[in-house]
Amino acid sequence: MIDLHLHSTASDGRLSPTDLIRKGAEEADSILALTDHDTLSGLQEFTLAAAELGVTALTGVELSAEFSHGELHLLGYNFDPARLEAVGLLARIREAREERNRRIFRSMTADALPVDYHEWREAIPGPSPGRPHIADYFIQKGIAGSRREAFDRFLSEGRPYYLPRENPPLHECVNAIRSAGGIPVVAHPWSLKISFSTLLELIPQWKEIGIMGMEIIHPSVNRDQSSRLGLLARDNGLVCSGGSDFHGVPEDRRFFGKTSWGKKIPRDLSLLVHLGL
């Protein structure tokens, strides 16, 4: 089983890092990457469980960055966690996330919603909470019936409690990953709300600042779109990554180790070839 885009309870997933490894261990020779949002706190548990259960684990992270057309998610793979944490970027991103959460709760309190920031925050084990955790809190409080409803009514852009977040510039995120020995990869490029021609224009700029790959398999793309991204990556000397972006939320219809068209994520992704796996 291959899945290079997974989220755990260390960020906004519903399974622990150990439980993700257990799912991977159901098949032989699995290769998994934990890519929690803006935190490395689940990696030690993830790698220890992988060693015990015979799963190959890659260090990973998903950073939110600002680029010329808005927000971009950047995956980092195979880095030294201590070196990446030492850069200080992750701590700054997490603090910006916390400040955004506090502002959202102040707005909800002003509207007399039955919410309490400290109650919500104390119930979250990970260091990197965000809007999905607020959505779960809405479910707990009876304000919404699902994460999707919470986002559609309250938390998505244009809804009452959406607030933009200040993200670091893309080049800073790329430099942080590369300085820790890692491989920076653009996550789900099809979801960037840009045209394919704009994507063609951006790739040389991304390569110039040190981006090394592109995620070509993701729930946001179908088989044909994935093939187009794969050709684009190959023609531009980028490695290809792929994953389910699994959060353990059934309503998301994101299936562990699977493509959006129901097949297993292939083992011949060029990122894995690049890493000798």
- What domains sit in the chain, N to C, each tagged with a CATH number? 2-90+166-274 (3.20.20.140), 101-155 (no CATH)
pTM of the model: 0.92
What percent of the chain stands above pLDDT 70?
100
pLDDT of 104 above 90? yes
What percent of the chain stands above pLDDT 90?
91
CA distance 185 to 76: 6
DSSP letter at 219? Answer: T
CA distance 64 to 82: 20
pLDDT at 251: 73
pLDDT of 249 above 90? no
Give 127's pLDDT tier (boundaries 50, 70, 90): confident
User: Which range has the worst mean pLDDT, 20-24, 133-137, 162-166?
Assistant: 162-166
The tens digit of pLDDT for each residue in 214-226 reads: 999 999 999 999 9
The helix/strand count (H/E) of the chain reads as: 11, 8
Give 170's pLDDT tier (boundaries 50, 70, 90): very high
CA distance 251 to 235: 36
CA distance 37 to 30: 22
Could you please report the per-residue DSSP string of 39-107? --TTHHHHHHHHHHHT-EEE-EEEEEEEETTEEEEEEEES--HHHHHHTSHHHHHHHHHHHHHHHHHHH
